[in-house]
Structures are given as structure tokens and as C-alpha cells.
Amino acid sequence: PALLRVLDGNAGEATLGRDRGNSVAISHLSVSRRHAAIRRDGSGWWIEDLGSTNCVRVGGHTVTWQRLKHGDWFSLGDVFCEFRLASDADLQTLLERAQQRRQASGAWLGRLEQAPDRDALMANLMTSIVHLAECRRGFLLTGNLDRGFATAACFNMQPNEPGSRQFTGSTAVIVRAVHTLAPVLVSDPSALDWARGRPSVVAGGLRALVALPIMRHETLLGVAYADSDEPGKVFTELDQEILAAFTEQAALLLAARGLDESLTQIDSCIEADADGQALLSMTAVRWKVQV
């Protein structure tokens, strides 16, 4: 799945559609603004088509009102979803994981606040995002569309790799983040039209992609990228919430240090280790993002 959503069974109803006001917002052109509703009554769970353009299918069959069982697959337009019932134990595990993730985010923010200089701050920022996204490697681009971007920090990869022909990551996910100015989290690139055919994604065997725009007062300061080839990686709504909040706080910290204005002029790249330490400083590689 591209994203895991947990719905409150006591709420009685959840709407799904392209509008952000839905219980589950799905950003895909084949999905109507209010596409479907999932409802619960005394006999179980049901899905209803709310007059969508591209219909609702359950098990491949078009439906207007259909009961859902644990493990059923349904589609809204071209978006496929799996319906699963969570036990109390499952929910407890999710709650415990949420607490652990928030604690980890707070700990990394504390390290950013204590960083003695810009190099240490960039290294900690890069490592923290890779860890919080539970990915294997990543890099931090600073800059904007007018000036171009530069690799300010990297983790488990070389600073000259992003933007080069040797890059085994996804430039498309970065372009998407720059274009939408919103976090992009992808758990299964092969399921998305804009990612599945990319040679770099195929060559790298990528299973998870993250691109996080770093914003200050609606101004783009840079983009953090991370990816992983670990099978079975699934991003949840919690992951999206934590990573978005973390980058927002990081941008505030950069501004407080007076570094937000200078990010577009960075000419060196910091290699960060797993502890957030700055190992080497190399010449930053500049490149353009075509939007």
C-alpha cells in the first residue's frame, strides 16, 4: 500500500475522496471529490458510492452499496484499497509505536537545538530525517527554483550522486514535492503511474520514497529526500504527521539561527553518520529541478 490509514470504528462513518475535508483524502485525478463512504451498522461494515465519476468496485465488480469483509479489496477509480479490521491488540501496538515515534522526533529536535554550528546542524537534520522516515539513505537539498539547488548534506551516499546519471533514487518524488510544496511519502513506487516506469526506481529496487519540502513563511528553503529498498515498508498517517511537523520545526530553528537566508548560497556538503555527526565537508553539487 502507498499509505496506511486507521479509522475510528466508533465514528460510524468515514468519507473517502479527493477533497482534504474527507476522513481519508486521496490525491488522485481518478478519485472524485467525495467518492465513497464507509459505514458501520449492526450487521457490519459497508461501502457506498457517493455518486462518483469513476465508480466503486469491490472484488472487481461495480457496486453502489456493498458489505465489506476483513481483507476485501476495493477500488475508487484507479486507486486500490484493502479493508482490514484491527483488533484491540493491533490498536495498542499502533498507539505504542506512535508514542515511540513522537519521543524519537522530540529527541532529534533536541539535538538540532544543541548543534554548535551549521555543519553540525545540517548533519543532525539529515540523519534525523532518514531515521524518522525509517529509510536507508538520503540527502538534503538547499535552495529554490530560481537559484537552483545544492546538496547541503548526505547520509549513506555521495554528494555528487543526486541529479547525476548514477543516481539510483527518484528525482520524480523531489519534483513532486517542489511542485506541490507538500510532503510526498510513497510506500510502493510500482503502484504509481508517475513512479513505476522510472529507470532509477527500477534499478535501485526502491520500496519507499520520501521528499519533504522545508518551508519558512511559504518560502521554499530546500527539500529533504530519503529512500529505502527494504521490502514491506508502509508509511502511515502518523509517519506523514511526524515528518511534516519535524521539518516545520527544523525550518523555525534554521530561521532562529539566521541560517534560512543563507541556505541558497551553501557551497559545501556535509557527510553525516548514523549518530548525526559531521564527518567530511565536500564541495556541494548544484543542480536544477525541472518543474
Q: Chain-centre distance of CA 149, in angstroms?
A: 20
What is the average pLDDT score of the chain? 84
- 49 with 152, same domain? no
Q: Chain-centre distance of CA 235, in angstroms?
A: 7
Extract the C-alpha cell encoding 80. Answer: 486500490
Residue 195 has pLDDT above 60, yes or no: no
The count of structural domains within the chain is 2
Cα end-to-end distance, the chain, whole Å: 27
| DSSP category for residue 236 | B
Domain coverage including residue 166: 108-287
For position 126, which CATH number holds?
3.30.450.40
- 157 with 43, same domain? no
Asked if residue 100 belongs to a domain, the reply is: no
> Does residue 124 contact residue 107 with C-beta atoms inside 8 Å?
no
What's the CA gap between 133 and 126, in Å, rounded?
Answer: 11
- Contact residues for 39 (Cβ-Cβ < 8 A; gap 6+): 12, 13, 45, 46, 47, 48
Give the pLDDT of residue 238.
83
Asked if residue 152 belongs to a domain, the reply is: yes
Extract the C-alpha cell encoding 282. Answer: 565536500
What is the number of residues in the chain?
A: 291
| DSSP category for residue 264 | G
Extract the C-alpha cell encoding 136. Answer: 536507508
Read off the pLDDT of residues 53-73 as tens digits, 9 standing for 90 and up: 999 999 889 999 999 999 899
Read off the pLDDT of residues 76-94 as tens digits, 9 standing for 90 and up: 998 888 898 888 888 788 7
What's the angle, vertex CA 16, arms to CA 14 and CA 22, rounded to 5? Answer: 75
Read off the pLDDT of residues 243-266 as tens digits, 9 standing for 90 and up: 999 999 999 888 888 877 777 677
Give the pLDDT of residue 43.
86
Read off the pLDDT of residues 129-186 as tens digits, 9 standing for 90 and up: 999 999 999 999 988 787 788 888 999 988 778 767 778 888 888 988 998 888 998 8
- 47 with 125, same domain? no
DSSP-assigned letters across all residues of 154-193: EESS-TT-TTSTT--S-HHHHHHHHHHTS-EEES-GGGSH
- 125 with 263, same domain? yes
- 164 with 217, same domain? yes
With b meaning 16 or more CB within 10 Å and e meaning fewer, what string describes 236-274? beebbebbeebbebbbebbeeeebbeebbebebbbbbee
Q: pLDDT-based confidence at 1, cuts 50/70/90?
A: very low
- 217 with 142, same domain? yes
| Cα radius of gyration (the chain) | 20
